[in-house]
Amino acid sequence: MFTKKNGFILTIIAVMLFTLTPSALAQEETETPRNLAAELSYQYSAAPNESYPDSGNELTDGVYEPLEYVNPGWQGHLRGITREVVFDLQDFKSINAIKAHFMQDSNAGIFYPVTVSMYVSDDGQNWGTLAHRNTQIPLWEPGPATEQFYIWDAAADGLPHPNKNASSAYARYVKITFTTQTWTFLDEIEIWGMDGKAKHAVRIKPEEPAYLEPGKDTNGIRDLVLLYNGWYPNGEGIWTKDKIIPYISYVDQQGEPTDWFYDGVLYLGLLTPGGERNFGSTALFEDWQWYLDTTFGADGDMKHLNDATAEVGQKLGDPKHRTKVVLMIPNPDTATTDFGDVDGDGISENFNPDQVGAEAALHNRQKAVSWYMDQVKQRWSAAGYSNLELSGMYWLAESAWLGEQFDEPLIRYTSDLVHSNHKQKFFWIPHFYANGSFAKEQLGFDAVALQPNHFFNETEATRLEDAAGLARQYGIGVEFETDERMNTDQEMRKRFIEYLNGGVDYGYMTRAFKAYYQGNTSLLDSSRSSDPIVRSNYDFMYQFVKGTYVKQTVPDPVE
């Protein structure tokens, strides 16, 4: 029964609650974050090198060491696959910032990680991404030792979609990963936040790492072979019909097509006529025009590719088959000050922001790219190729500094052109140490394949495992790399087979979009060889593309 006395008591309680609530909220909102990692232990995926070990919780002792690598407070990691450091906070906590401290001393072979990534987890097994951070200081920069913090800050950077209004991540486990090159030195990691669940703290949804698979983003291309059609002193940049056929089709030992091979062809050039300049940096307007004339001329590369596809289609009983084509976009480099007059106003375009200002330099670079894209569209349409499909455009520069003051605005502008005006897909193949390789969506790329660079560098075969793991984490594909040396050098053939075997071991043979660097003519040479070992290189590659390759024993080079 409700009485006057009960009503009075309820009223008092309500008043008390009303007066207490603001105080409690204020306490929650003004609680000072602390370093949750202070003096905390952690687990490595691989311990530091024995020459620069961790003497015990050095990463969480709160001591920032002088920039001298001989100081025992620094720990050193030597090459190998991407390292992981995992923290168990012992309970769910609200995390609003993470920072990791590294040093670089190029004179001593110590370099910053290209990428540091931060993740959180409820169970220590399934991880959600907070951020990937590139170095903001160039690698290999000479001079005295420097330091750099890699930071994720919820207030400045936000949390992953769809947690737009969240203020912190609510999790028990934190993982920091960092890439290694030669030596990598770090001395401290901090995890800032509060005990318990703060207001607007959210759990981060775990992700299942996966390759970019062939499909809509790749315009249906599974296997994209690179054919270099720039200038070469020996004429290897000239792709005639007979040279193209062993790439778009699998040929027998008599050179007759028996099946389709690569389903996509990327044409790209490096050197300008006479080898004077480079399309990745120094090429001028006249060079861009020469490249278009060479590619689309009456006896140019596109004509020969179209003829090759038509001939193979007739022989295979598939006359309507179309080869998917991707064409490069040269890089309008910021060092160029006298590119040439693109728009006919009598003024040569200057791409250098130090000379004309950042806004004018970007506008001039956009002008050059827009002209080039229009030329491709017009020339392709005028040619009316019967057996080709223009599927995409390729960004030639192999690294991308993120930020409005760097390449990002130009790449996004180009992405808009590719998508809106040309209705194609935007492709990119960054090198292993490239900036921005994780930023596919941010930059506006559709199809990205990461270069392992194992074939060219003196790395262990674990580099393929590392590249495959990063590709899955970033949601991109993998580039297969080889060159003519696979046919003549036993060590290089060994590396070629390691790429093949890695496709089976790490799943990129059947589950990933792939690009294929093969030098200039390595597969052409092996397809025509009477040496059974050299010919087997061509056969193995065909089996790999078809997903039927069976792992081979990696041969040991003869001493």
Percent of the chain with pLDDT over 70: 94
The candidate with the shortest Cα–Cα distance to 488, out of 524, 528, 443, 522, is 522
Considering the domain architecture, whether residues 88 and 49 belong to the same structural domain is answered as yes
Report how far residue 184's alpha carbon sits from residue 103's, in angstroms, rounded to the nearest whole number.
8
Tokens of 543: 């089996």
Structural domain that includes position 242: 216-546
- Strand (E) or helix (H) holding 497: helix 490-505
Q: What is the pLDDT of residue 140?
A: 81
Considering the domain architecture, whether residues 305 and 160 belong to the same structural domain is answered as no
Considering the domain architecture, whether residues 177 and 281 belong to the same structural domain is answered as no
Considering the domain architecture, whether residues 158 and 234 belong to the same structural domain is answered as no
Q: Strand 223-228 relative to strand 75-78: parallel, antiparallel, unpaired?
A: unpaired
Is residue 28 one of the residues assigned to a domain? no
Q: Say what the alpha-carbon torsion angle 197, 202, 203, 205 is, to the nearest 10 degrees.
A: 180
Is residue 511 one of the residues assigned to a domain? yes
Segments in 352-419 forming alpha helices (H): 353-356, 358-383, 408-416
Is residue 272 one of the residues assigned to a domain? yes
- Strand (E) or helix (H) holding 117: strand 115-121
Least confident of 10-24, 324-338, 413-427: 10-24
CATH code of the domain covering residue 537: 3.20.20
Report how far residue 545's alpha carbon sits from residue 524's, in angstroms, rounded to the nearest whole number.
16
Is residue 199 one of the residues assigned to a domain? no
Q: Does position 559 have pLDDT exceeding 80, yes or no?
A: no
Residue with tokens 């506008």: 363
Considering the domain architecture, whether residues 168 and 221 belong to the same structural domain is answered as no
Considering the domain architecture, whether residues 477 and 373 belong to the same structural domain is answered as yes
Reported as a single tens digit per residue, the pLDDT across 331-371 is: 999 999 999 999 999 999 999 999 999 999 999 999 999 99
Tokens of 152: 């994720």
How does DSSP classify residue 340?
A: -
Q: What is the pLDDT of residue 554?
A: 77
Reported as a single tens digit per residue, the pLDDT across 23-66 is: 333 334 457 999 999 999 999 999 999 999 998 899 999 999 99
Q: Once rounded to an integer, what is the mean pLDDT over residues 250-272?
A: 98
Is residue 14 one of the residues assigned to a domain? no
Integer CA distances (angstroms), 322 to 67, 239, 313, in order: 59, 18, 9
Considering the domain architecture, whether residues 374 and 482 belong to the same structural domain is answered as yes
Report how far residue 483's alpha carbon sits from residue 521's, in angstroms, rounded to the nearest whole number.
8
Q: Are 279 and 270 in contact (CB under 8 A)?
A: yes
CATH code of the domain covering residue 52: 2.60.120.260
The candidate with the shortest Cα–Cα distance to 546, out of 510, 495, 497, is 510
The single-letter code of the amino acid at 336 is: T
pLDDT band at 300 (very low <50, low <70, confident <90, very high): very high
Reported as a single tens digit per residue, the pLDDT across 179-204 is: 998 999 999 999 999 999 999 999 99
137, 159, 194 — which closes off a domain? Answer: 194
Selected residue with higher pLDDT from 1 and 74? 74
Considering the domain architecture, whether residues 169 and 226 belong to the same structural domain is answered as no
Reported as a single tens digit per residue, the pLDDT across 93-121 is: 999 999 999 999 999 999 999 999 999 99
Question: Within 13 Å, how many C-alpha atoms sit on residue 185's CB side?
Answer: 25
Tokens of 30: 């003004």
Is residue 344 one of the residues assigned to a domain? yes
| Mean residue pLDDT across the chain | 93
Q: What is the pLDDT of residue 404?
A: 87
Q: What is the pLDDT of residue 558?
A: 53
Domain count, the chain: 2
Strands (E), 223-275: 223-228, 249-251, 257-260, 264-268
Reported as a single tens digit per residue, the pLDDT across 3-15 is: 333 333 333 333 3
Considering the domain architecture, whether residues 173 and 222 belong to the same structural domain is answered as no
Considering the domain architecture, whether residues 336 and 299 belong to the same structural domain is answered as yes
Selected residue with higher pLDDT from 251 and 16? 251
Considering the domain architecture, whether residues 475 and 516 belong to the same structural domain is answered as yes
Is residue 65 one of the residues assigned to a domain? yes
Is residue 25 one of the residues assigned to a domain? no
Give the number of other CB atoms < 10 A from CB of residue 389: 16
Tokens of 413: 């502008």
Percent of the chain with pLDDT over 90: 88
Strands (E), 288-364: 323-329
Considering the domain architecture, whether residues 425 and 467 belong to the same structural domain is answered as yes
Tokens of 24: 């409690």
Report how far residue 44's alpha carbon sits from residue 35's, in angstroms, rounded to the nearest whole number.
20
pTM above 0.85, yes or no: yes
